[in-house]
Chain A
Amino acid sequence: MIKIENLNFSYSKQRILFKDISMQLSNGHIYGLLGKNGAGKSTLLKNLAGLVYAQSGKIDVFGFDPAKRQPAMLQQICFIPEEFHLPAIKIDSYVKANAAFYPHFDHQYFADLLKEFDIPVGQKLIDMSYGQKKKVIIAFGLATNAKLVIMDEPTNGLDIPSKAQFRKIMASALTEDKCIIISTHQVRDLDNLIDTVIMLDENKIALKATVEEVTEKLCFKRVKELDETVIYAEPSLAGYNAVMANYHQEDSKLDMELLFNAVLTEKNKLKPIFN
């Protein structure tokens, strides 16, 4: 369980990121963190991992205060940053040097993940492409069996087959005791993987709802003409892709990109629906 209470964060007086945000995340979910560039996705993730310090507010990660950076908490965190640097050594030396810090590290699982990702074990990390290195740290991070998995744009740099492998790996990585948070711009890569969306906008959490809650309240469909039930629409080949209030209990497929744009442009219409 992760709790954020009244978090205020800014890099400077001019650059305020979060104003008094609160939310709870529970285990057994894959949260998708969405937001415009500069909305603070990475910063929120860093707050959870204790990599930056907020001006005020409380963060509780499995009973720990992440800002204290205690080993007992760090063991439970797998953080895949968007940009990272790995030392110029072989994969097995890397594992030898780092795995022992994690009491639940699973070497067999790590080997299986590398195999799934097509990474040769004996290879030196420095000879690898960005995408390959990313796969290595994803595999390492998951093999630590950390309870909180934080991924910042994990599909960046992965080729098309790797994205499918990644989705399979994440689908199998989610267990009841894990909390997985993925920030992404490339919603289409991950939309079936995410079960709860969190959207950041204007220093606030603009929306936090499960896919089930969203599709209960909203309906996503193609329409020929716009009427007053349509909250937000984008023109498409055959009419419009529309978001509308779900009056008829239709079970539509959540279109995350459309939802995202709807939240950004039609805040006032959506607010009463979700409260």
Chain B
Amino acid sequence: MNNTFNLHRFTLLLKRQWLEFGKIFLITLLVATGVIVAFYGLTLLPLEELGYVSRRLGFREPLFFIFGFLFISIIASSYFAHLGQKSKAIIDLLIPASTFEKFLAGFFFTSILSVLAFILIFIITDWAFIAYIKSYFKTGNVKELADVEMFFNKNDINSFAPLYLAPFTVTSVFLLGSAYFNRFHYIKTAICVMLFSGAWTYIVMNSVEAILSNKTPINRYSHGKDTMEWVLFAIIALFTLVVFSITYVRLKEKEV
């Protein structure tokens, strides 16, 4: 028997995890949908003037990013949370699946399913509102109204590649938090992230200051992708992988 990965066992595990985690997931998703709909409704309705509506749609980016971050981080920080409770952890740890499969199931539900689910509800809500607005202003020039397709096109990979790693980085960090802490996973993880990123920023700023002071920048106005962007991409990718590996090790060493 393969004691590390077996597809049949893995699908069984996904089904089993869904039975319990699915409830938290669906409820969170429902709340998220409600909040997004409410946001659109309160900001745009009642519809008065097309130009006004067009300008107001600027809230979409912050809503997508801030709320998306909240959604995936909350989901991720609840996935392994129950392992902090003895009564739940014993039964879960003893389920005959490998630690790798248990970790992979966590990755699937948090980094993949939750991200996809959020994008989906965002697209549907946005599409529905834009369609409604378009049908409302039959006479106006509705073409100027950016629909959801355009929303995603203008934020494509050419603009900033590391952005595409963000969902994985965020979920990896909060998944680790959920496996690492026994209680108050979200708060503790958030505080750690703040401290860590604060320290990191401080170090980077100071080292940049030290290295680059009194030097003249060249190639300052180059457009498109530069190497720095890809270096950043690589660093973030590496960071994410490291966090995921720590989560796996932490899961392997979890004791009750």
Contact = CB atoms under 8 A, between A and B. Distances in A.
A77 B93 CA distance: 12
A71 interface: yes
B256 interface: yes
Contact of A75 (B86, B88, B96, B252): B96
Given A89-B19, A101-B12, A53 B253 contact: yes
A97 B87 contact: no
Interface SS of B by simple majority: helix
A71 B6 CA distance: 10
A90 to B, nearest CB: 11
Contacts of A84: 87-88, 90-91
Contacts of B98: 69-71
Given A52-B256, A93-B19, A97-B19, A85 B94 contact: no
B79 to A, nearest CB: 15
Interface string A83-104: 1111111000100011011100
Nearest to A152: B90
Interface in B75-106: 82, 85-88, 90-91, 93-99
Nearest to B12: A100
Interface string A54-84: 0000000000000011111011010101011
Contacts of A101: 9, 12, 16, 95-97
Interface residues on A, range: 20 to 34
B253 A77 contact: no
A207 interface: no
B15 interface: yes
A46 interface: yes
Size range of the chain B interface in the assembly? 20 to 34
Contact of B97 (A71, A81, A86, A93): A71
A232 B97 CA distance: 49
A54 B253 CA distance: 12
A68 B100 CA distance: 11
Contacts of A51: 90, 93-94, 255-256
30 contacts: A49-B94, A51-B90, A51-B94, A51-B255, A52-B255, A52-B256, A68-B3, A70-B98, A71-B98, A72-B1, A72-B3, A72-B96, A74-B94, A74-B96, A81-B87, A83-B87, A84-B87, A84-B88, A84-B90, A84-B91, A85-B82, A85-B87, A85-B88, A97-B19, A98-B16, A98-B95, A101-B9, A101-B12, A101-B96, A102-B96
Interface of B: 1, 3, 6, 9, 12, 15-16, 19-20, 23, 82, 85-88, 90-91, 93-99, 252-253, 255-256
Given A52-B255, A85-B91, A101-B96, 12 more contacts: A46-B256, A51-B255, A69-B98, A71-B6, A72-B1, A77-B94, A79-B90, A83-B86, A84-B87, A87-B20, A101-B9, A101-B12
Interface of A: 46, 49, 51-53, 68-72, 74-75, 77, 79, 81, 83-89, 93, 97-98, 100-102
